[in-house]
Structure 1
């Protein structure tokens, strides 16, 4: 039986409770059988931790939820952030229905993505609305539907005001990040003196 899979890509530097709440919200609202977290291999941000450290925290954060999974597919096959290649590889390994989660900022810049025409013809897209920008999003979705026959839906989301950059800044300032990340992730960050 085919499952409904949501691909949730990101830097996860570090993964935080906002990511987890959002993933669970997607399951509840859209009926996904599984959310697969895919950390990016080599992001272009200077203060990003190495892939293996970020993956270790990701595994800790999702270990108690059987509807959450992770994949190191980008590193394993050296796909360097090319979503099209990642999706094609996943499709070869599985026959599940695949949906991609993206932010509304990414929606506005899809034209620059590698093989975006193929992505939008083959895969469903779920857009996370960050701000009150309904009209701009609707215009862009209509454009992609007409151009590629894209299947794009906006997620009705309760915005969580947590970000990885905020957490990194709090750590640098010596502030507590308790309740913003999972307890074991917080301990790991503290023990390994990460982001200081």
Structure 2
């Protein structure tokens, strides 16, 4: 469940969008308690309320060993709000997974937030010795992942929804050795 919350819009999200236009988004590993808290709140909003995949909370045993990543909207370089999140974990030596990719509905049209979260997820795992990076991607998001140099390995059902097991082409994801500072993507003009 890596690419499940890229498309669609929901009025039921309990995460309030900012009342300003961000100038940039910082995509990074979670380093501060407020980032982690907002990331979990966003996940609950997307996976429990919007998509109805889980009841009450989406946390599981993987959260105990996963690294959470966040996309933080910034105004004049000052962090304001977590607008996207994903987690990564090593399942076996050299084998990493990404999961729980979520972008706030009000920020999905930005176009770079989900892609940049995916990029940091793979490049930071690559820097930690990843040889294979996999994800269970909701079927409607397969074209996005293919455009980002991922291969579909097989179709499957996960939590009652059609998914594809996909693998990142690591040659397109050079190792990122500074994931705590991560990447900055500029906001679209007029967004």
What is the TM-score when the length of structure 2 is the normalising length? 0.31
User: Larger relative contact order (C-alpha < 8 A, sep ≥ 6)?
Assistant: 2
Larger radius of gyration: 1
Larger proportion of strand: 2
Larger proportion of helix: 1
What is the TM-score when the length of structure 1 is the normalising length? 0.30
